[in-house]
């Protein structure tokens, strides 16, 4: 930690730049719930209730995301965790994702009301595109093969059901 001669804390320019870049993702913050479907390897369309909780961490320089998918009986059958960060040296956003036993770092591209992130998978690309309008979040997943039409295999339509102080709330105090 850097201290000013009068004891005031000085924020390093690097963290300030990260915080400013991450501020454009504040539209994602909150608790979300709704329906999602995916196409299983068998070709069957499977529907679940999807929840997401998304909030800022490290003074707004990192976004933290947890997603859970629930069966009709309440059993969790999907759980994912991720972070989004901004590298001010390269001007690139990165999503670090843990899901279904997989882990990876992926380029994350935000715009005013949407974001896109892609997973390279050999000759195929898996592209997730989300649009946020007010309290509605719609995200789709497409498998893209060169020279072929995209194949949609995932869609979720969520509503913001509340605000959250997660994950920053509940920090351990020094006393």
Q: The pTM is what?
A: 0.89
What per-residue confidence (pLDDT) applies to 9?
A: 57
pLDDT in tens, 62-120: 999 999 999 999 999 999 999 999 999 999 999 999 999 999 999 999 999 999 999 99
25 token code pair: 């993702």
Distance CA 84, CA 82 (A): 7
Contact 45, 172 (CB under 8 A): no
Contact 133, 157 (CB under 8 A): no
**CATH code that applies to domain 13-161:** 2.40.128.20
Tell me the average pLDDT across 137-147. Answer: 98
DSSP 7: S
What per-residue confidence (pLDDT) applies to 11?
A: 61
Contact 36, 46 (CB under 8 A): no
Within a 13 Å sphere around the CA of 93, how many CA atoms are in the beta-carbon half? 22
């Amino acid at each position: 930690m850097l201290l000013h001669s009068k004891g005031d804390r000085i924020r390093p320019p690097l963290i300030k730049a990260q915080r400013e870049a991450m501020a454009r993702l504040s539209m994602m913050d909150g608790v979300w719930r709704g329906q999602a479907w995916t196409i299983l390897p068998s070709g069957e369309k499977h529907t679940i209730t999807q929840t997401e909780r998304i909030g800022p961490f490290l003074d707004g320089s990192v976004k933290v995301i947890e997603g859970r998918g629930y069966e009709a009986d309440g059993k969790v059958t999907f759980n994912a965790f991720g972070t989004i960060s901004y590298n001010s040296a390269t001007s690139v956003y990165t999503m670090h994702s843990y899901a279904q036993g997989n882990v990876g770092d992926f380029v994350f591209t935000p715009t005013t009301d949407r974001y896109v992130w892609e997973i390279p998978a050999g000759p195929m690309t898996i592209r997730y595109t989300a649009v946020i309008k007010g309290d509605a979040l719609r995200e789709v997943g497409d498998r893209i093969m060169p020279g072929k039409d995209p194949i949609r295999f995932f869609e979720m339509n969520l509503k913001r059901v509340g605000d959250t102080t997660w994950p920053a709330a509940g920090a351990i105090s020094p006393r």
